[in-house]
Amino acid sequence: MDDRYGRLYELPAELAMLGHQVAGLCLSYRPREQGPSLTRTPKKNQVAWSSVNLGPFILPGLLRYFRKLKEIINDFHPDLIVAGSDALHCIFGQRIAEKHHLPCVLDLYDNFESFGLTLVPGISPLFRKAVAKAEGITCVSAQLERHVLTNYRPRGMVTTIVNAIPAELFQGKDKMIARQKLGLPAEAKLIGTAGALSKNRGIKTLIEAYNELAAHDPTIHLVLAGPQEPTIKLANDPKIHYLGELPYSEIPFLFSALDVGIICNVDSGFGRFCFPQKAYEMMACNLPVVAAGVGTMAELLSAFPEQLFSPGDVTGLVRAIRGQLTNPRQPEIPIVTWPQQAQKLLSFIEKIRP
The torsion angles phi and psi of 262, rounded to 5 degrees, stand at -115, 130
Q: Which DSSP symbol is given to 46?
A: -
Residue 101, classified by CB atoms within 10 Å of its CB into exposed (0-12), middle (13-18) or buried (19+), is: exposed
One pLDDT digit (tens) per residue for the chain, 354 residues: 566 778 999 999 999 999 999 999 999 998 877 767 655 444 457 898 999 999 998 999 999 999 999 999 999 999 999 999 999 999 999 999 999 999 999 999 999 999 999 999 999 999 999 999 999 999 999 999 999 999 999 999 999 999 999 999 999 999 999 999 999 999 999 999 999 999 999 999 999 999 999 999 999 999 999 999 999 989 999 999 999 999 999 999 999 999 999 999 999 999 999 999 999 999 999 999 999 999 999 999 999 999 999 999 999 999 999 999 999 999 989 999 999 999 999 999 999 986
Classify strands 23-28 and 48-53 as parallel, antiparallel or unpaired. Answer: parallel
Is residue 350 within 8 Å of 133, Cβ to Cβ? no
* One-letter amino acid for residue 34 of the chain: Q
175-326 matches 7-166+338-352 in CATH topology: yes
The torsion angles phi and psi of 123, rounded to 5 degrees, stand at -65, -45
Q: Considering just the CA atoms, what is the radius of gyration of the chain in Å?
A: 21
The torsion angles phi and psi of 108, rounded to 5 degrees, stand at -95, 95
Residue 11, classified by CB atoms within 10 Å of its CB into exposed (0-12), middle (13-18) or buried (19+), is: buried
> What pLDDT is recorded for position 260?
98
Q: CA-CA distances (angstroms) from residue 225 to 100, 254, 345?
A: 44, 9, 31
Compute how many other C-beta atoms are within 10 angstroms of the C-beta atom of residue 217.
11
Topology at the third CATH level for domain 175-326: Rossmann fold (3.40.50)
- Whole-structure pTM over 0.85, yes or no? yes
> What pLDDT is recorded for position 40?
45
Rounded distance between C-alpha atoms, residue 11 and residue 163, angstroms = 10
Which of these, 344, 217, 328, 219, lies nearest to 282 by C-alpha position?
328
Rounded distance between C-alpha atoms, residue 152 and residue 188, angstroms = 49
Strand order in the sheet with 136-139: 81-83, 104-108, 136-139, 157-160
Rounded distance between C-alpha atoms, residue 117 and residue 101, angstroms = 28
Q: Which CATH number fits domain 7-166+338-352: 3.40.50.2000, 3.30.70.260, 3.40.50.720, 3.50.50.100?
A: 3.40.50.2000
> What pLDDT is recorded for position 3?
62
Number of H helices, E strands in the chain: 12, 13
Domain boundaries, given as residue ranges, for the chain: 7-166+338-352, 175-326
Classify strands 81-83 and 48-53 as parallel, antiparallel or unpaired. Answer: unpaired
